[in-house]
Amino acid sequence: MIKDYRVMLALALAGFVLLALSLARQMQPEWAKHQKAYYKQLDTADAVVEIKQVNVNAPQGGIVVDRCQSCHVGASNPDAQGFGQPIAAHPPIVPGLEKDPHDFGKMGCAVCHDGNGRALEKHDAHGEYHGWPHPLLAGKTAQANCNRCHAMESGTLAGAEVYEKGRELFLEKACWGCHTIAGISTTSQAPELTDAGGKFTFEYLEESIVEPSANIKNSKMPRFDWVHETETVEALATYLKGQQKNRLRSADSAPIGYQKPPSIEQRIASPSVDAGRALFAGVAYEGSISRGGCINCHAFRNGDGDLAGGQIGPELTWSLRARGRTYIKEHILNSRSHVADSIMPSFKDYNDAELESLVAYLSTFDYKADSDDGAKLYDTYCLSCHGENLDGKGAVSTMLDPLPRAFRYQFVESYETRFKESIRNGIKGTAMPMWKNVLDDKEIDALIAYIKERSLAGAPRHFTRLEAPLPRPGDPERVDFKGKGLELEAGDPARGGEAYQANCTACHGKLGNGKGPNAYLLEHPLPRNLLNKEFFNQPAVTDERLYQSILLGVPGTPMPAHDHLRDQTILDIIAFIRANTTEESVQ
Amino acid sequence: MNELIAMAREFGNKLYYSIFRHRFDNTGLTKSKIMFSNVLLHIQPVKIHKRSVKFKTTMGLGLITFYLFLVLTLTGILLMFHYVPSTAIGPDGLPDAYSRMLNLRSNVFWGGFIRNMHRWAAHGMVAFVALHMLRVYLSGAHRGGREFNWVVGCILGLLTVFLSYTGYLLPWDQLAFWGVKVGTEIAKIAPGGAIIRGILLGDADVGGEALIRFYVLHVAVLPAVMGFLIAVHFFRIRKDGGLARPADTSKEKQIPDEEFGTVKNNSVFKAARSYKLVEIVKGKEPKVNEEVDQMMFAWPKLIVREVMVLLGLVAFLSLVSVFFDAPLEGPADPNHPTNPSKAPWYFLGLQELVSYHGFIGGIVIPGILAGGVMVLPYIEIFLESFSRTYRKNIPGVWFARERNLENALFICMYLFMLALIIIGVYFRGENWSIVYPWEHVAGGGH
């Protein structure tokens, strides 16, 4: 029994000690320790240790509770200059002023630095726990929140240099081409960023800039090669974090630093090559803000053949020569007017002078590979899309839709007769331009010879494609033998639609846009978008070609033979595809 | 002077006896009086079987569960002084309920500790209910006239889970919102579940109405029902003759009699032990067999051991609460689901099953398990009656050989649920895909 009493006593003691411990922790909070250290360093004897709370009024009637200065007690005291964190004085915000206009006693800390202003324990207060929407913005990244009180849409704010750098980058790097920020751009290519700062944390933004698929697995955003510099990423993320709908000050009540934006944005009025160059490079031209930045995605060659620019879209050295002015202008205004699946943003607010300037600048590209050597020609003109191994995986291929042709030996042996025509006239509805304006027949022949030689060099065996002429409806010689000798009739789009849903959707998709569930697992090239009007309405794409492609498959691609289908069914499917891609039909 | 002392003593005696009515000597009468003249102690019998205080008999599991209920009531009442069940957006843009949580963590004196205590005790209670149930079954204590008390216990277990679940929503953070959301979505699958869900939530979705309903259920309705059923549960244990024990305990190793304290016999009839004859509470004949010798005074041994368990529990809970903060995430945001969204851990087995098949995993299997377990003693009786296998059930004996099959099945069921819960808690990541625990992303399941 005495043992029981001892155990009881020990447990009572343990319980008491632990409860006392929990109370002791409450009596000795973190902030009180910091305040005591602060007053000791200041040699203030009779200072009151207390929670220091600032309530910042918001225009919507709310307040921001801010208890940060319970720990950061020396923030606004210049005498605390050399003190360690967290009791040190805040460094000056606006450079060159004798007295900083920001009064922390009135505005607190969380207004600029985010975090959880209510909390009194470091981990909580800095918002470093899972799910807190606004974790601490330390150091200069706090410039993202200048926006909350100062209107910064135009004009620069002293002390917000990181934010300003981010804004320049956003314009210069043509982020605005795809992303809308109200007041800057209006596009629908990519998620709107007008409230990016309200929706995303700083880390999320940084991560998404560097590695677009980090947070959204199927992101289409290209990986830019200029983002690896920490400073750049930080500046851009700071700018984006600053895009917030929820502001603490309206335009009328904003403190100093606010300027009304200039009445109207300066635009280019008369076309010139210089203006075109500025647009192309994404830099300001004669007072206009940047409205271009082609170079971030497109590369070009100077007179010596040196390549410069981004590897996201096709190289532009030949584009104007190959495509002509009208096409280029239409393409800039609406890229999908010619290439159904182009991811290029639409620069639809360009005025005529700006378009003209760009075209004028593009027409200054005059590099030409002066050679008859197939290899040299291929490396110059074809490599960036079709790749050095002729596998269609060139540097810019990933963002092209449809993907560039992979020259597998089966494909080359089957279709080599088509090559000359394809190179000369291009393939409509795709990124393949008309080379006849750039290359002469001799050069084209040299290219074809080179492609054949390289592609067939490693071929394990010879490939022969069967002949399968298109059956004519009503032809008594060519009855549909699988249909028990029935005579063929003209294809019916309605029946074709049913056959399509039964046989084709797994790869080509229910809508026919080439994005069926299996498409993602297929090898390069991916299923054709069967709604691509430009492609299906060019002379080279005949009914016979479609018939053969369906019946025999397309060699060197994942498209298999469908010789189990009746001729009549294939004709119906062709009619269905044609009905979807007539000029009048809605894409 | 002496007279004054005598008067003071008289007053003191009167005062003392008006409160306690007994002395603290070693006589059997006093030991009996201590027990039955105290409202808190009289729930227990004056005399108990020696094996009742052995650790092996109960492992204190039921008692710990009851103490956790007391701790939860106490800390819960303290929290009620501060909490507001409102989703109204406060001046600093946070829902009221959530900003109260932030206050508890930052500037309410002892608030964080009390909340931690409440949270960890709540999780502990669910776990200890399950362990208590396992103990009862494996030691056959649900049989021998105690069958209905098992049913009451099962209802108490379900109430515990429901109490914990209703409390889970109250912090109104992401964890709470999505945890409860997942749970109520599972309820939809059941036939009629949508109506029950609608009554519970008071809305088409988890929102302000759900918060107030969960709050009232959590602080008033469920604790009241629970308190009543706990009383029934305890009362029936007394009426069924105390803890379940086999008919013959003479072969068992017991705590020696001296350990229960000396009993001074100041009766006129020195040889008589009359108090033993008033022990007849149950049974067809007076207890005149060896059983009587096994019965010992509850005071002080039983009470000391019970206090020991309470103190140990409070010490352990304090330790956990001092060093581990109850989770709190960002404020509830119906537009941004956490990924993965996990129900509280005791529902994660269910969620894991639902991820395979909504109806079978969410309704059929758990329905069979919960319903089957509740009527388990009656299933046993039914099978025994209709197959005329009159086994010698041994209540109070761990892993009785006659019950090997039942015990094995019951343990399998526990392991099955435990495995599912472990998979759900540690091996499920984004989009409910299988991940290793060390790649686990924080969020959900606490």
> What pLDDT digit, counting tens, does each position of A128-179 carry?
877 788 889 988 899 988 888 887 665 667 788 899 899 888 888 888 888 9
Residue of B nearest to A19 (CA): B318
Average pLDDT for A347-375: 88
Among the residue ranges A296-310, A479-493, B80-94, B413-427, the one predicted with the least confidence is: A479-493
**Dihedrals phi, psi of B49, to nearest 5 degrees:** -70, 145
Q: What's residue A98's pLDDT?
A: 78
- Is position B250 within any domain? no
* Cα separations in angstroms, B17 against A503, A516, B8, B20, B33: 96, 89, 14, 5, 12
C-beta of residue A136 within 8 angstroms of C-beta of residue A126? yes
- Is position A253 within any domain? no
The dihedral through the CA atoms of B34, B37, B40, B46 has a sign that is positive
- Is position B310 within any domain? yes
Q: What's residue A479's pLDDT?
A: 66
Q: What's residue B192's pLDDT?
A: 86
Residue B210, domain extent: 53-244+305-439
Closest CA–CA distance from residue B118 to any residue of chain A (Å):
14
pLDDT in tens, A105-121: 888 898 899 888 888 88
Q: What's residue A522's pLDDT?
A: 85
Q: What's residue B280's pLDDT?
A: 45
pLDDT in tens, A56-68: 887 666 778 889 9
Which uninterrupted H or E stretch holds A64?
Answer: strand A63-66
Question: Which of the pair, B72 or A194, is modelled with greater confidence?
Answer: B72
**Pick from B89, B102, B319: which is nearest to A116 by CB?**
B102
Q: What's residue A258's pLDDT?
A: 47
- Is position A22 within any domain? no
Best of A9, A118, A244 to disrupt the B interface (most B CBs within 10 Å) is A118
pLDDT band of A253, cuts 50, 70, 90: low
- Is position B48 within any domain? no
Selection from A502, A365, A474, A381 nearest residue A431 by Cα: A381
Q: What is the rounded distance in angstroms from the CA atom of residue A116 to the CA atom of residue A119?
A: 6
Residue A310, domain extent: 273-362
Residue given tokens 């004054």 in the structure block: B4
Q: Do B24 and B148 belong to one domain?
A: no
Q: Do B121 and B7 belong to one domain?
A: no
Q: Do B399 and B361 belong to one domain?
A: yes
Contact call for A130 and B442, based on CB within 8 A: yes
For chain A, the domain total comes to: 5
Q: What's residue A307's pLDDT?
A: 85
Strands (E), A370-479: none
Closest CA–CA distance from residue A245 to any residue of chain B (Å):
14
Structure tokens at A232: 């750049």
C-beta of residue B434 within 8 angstroms of C-beta of residue B427? yes
pLDDT in tens, A153-165: 656 677 888 998 9
pLDDT in tens, A567-579: 889 999 999 999 9
Q: What's residue B220's pLDDT?
A: 95
Q: What's residue B86's pLDDT?
A: 93
Structure tokens at A97: 């002023």
Q: What is the rounded distance in angstroms from the CA atom of residue A260 to the CA atom of residue B66?
A: 68
Q: What's residue B279's pLDDT?
A: 47
Q: What's residue A484's pLDDT?
A: 65
**pLDDT means per 10 residues in chain B (446 residues)?**
94 92 85 88 88 89 96 96 92 87 88 94 95 94 90 96 93 90 84 89 91 95 96 92 81 83 71 49 50 81 93 95 89 84 86 87 88 93 86 82 90 94 88 78 42
Distance of CA B324 to the CA centre of its chain: 22
Residue B335 at interface with chain A, using a CB cutoff of 8 Å: no
Q: Do A88 and A129 belong to one domain?
A: yes
**Pick from A5, A21, A119: which is nearest to B106 by CB?**
A119
Q: How high is the mean pLDDT of chain A?
A: 86
C-beta of residue A381 within 8 angstroms of C-beta of residue A440? no
**Dihedrals phi, psi of A64, to nearest 5 degrees:** -105, 115
Residue A124 at interface with chain B, using a CB cutoff of 8 Å: yes
Count Cα neighbours of A346 within 13 Å in the Cβ-side half-sphere. Answer: 16
CB atoms within 10 A of CB B107: 18
pLDDT band of A584, cuts 50, 70, 90: low
Q: What is the rounded distance in angstroms from the CA atom of residue B399 to the CA atom of residue B403?
A: 7
Q: Do B158 and B124 belong to one domain?
A: yes
Selection from A430, A381, A349, A423 nearest residue A176 by Cα: A349
Q: Is the pLDDT assigned to residue A326 strictly greater than 50?
A: yes
Q: Do B166 and B105 belong to one domain?
A: yes
CB atoms within 10 A of CB A560: 11
Per DSSP, chain B holds a count of helices (H) and strands (E) of: 18, 2
C-beta of residue B428 within 8 angstroms of C-beta of residue B437? no
Q: Do A127 and A157 belong to one domain?
A: no
For chain B, the domain total comes to: 2
Residue A111 at interface with chain B, using a CB cutoff of 8 Å: no
- Is position A20 within any domain? no
- DSSP bridge pairs for A307: A301
Q: Do A442 and A388 belong to one domain?
A: yes
First to last CA, chain B: 68
C-beta of residue A395 within 8 angstroms of C-beta of residue A307? no
Average pLDDT for A355-379: 89
**Dihedrals phi, psi of B119, to nearest 5 degrees:** -65, -50
C-beta of residue A247 within 8 angstroms of C-beta of residue A147? yes
Q: What's residue B442's pLDDT?
A: 47
Residue B133: burial class (beta carbons within 10 Å; 0-12, 13-18, 19+) = buried
Residue B331 at interface with chain A, using a CB cutoff of 8 Å: yes
CATH classification at residue A573: 1.10.760.10
Residue A198 at interface with chain B, using a CB cutoff of 8 Å: no
Residues 6+ positions from A206 with CB-CB distance below 8 Å? A233, A234, A237
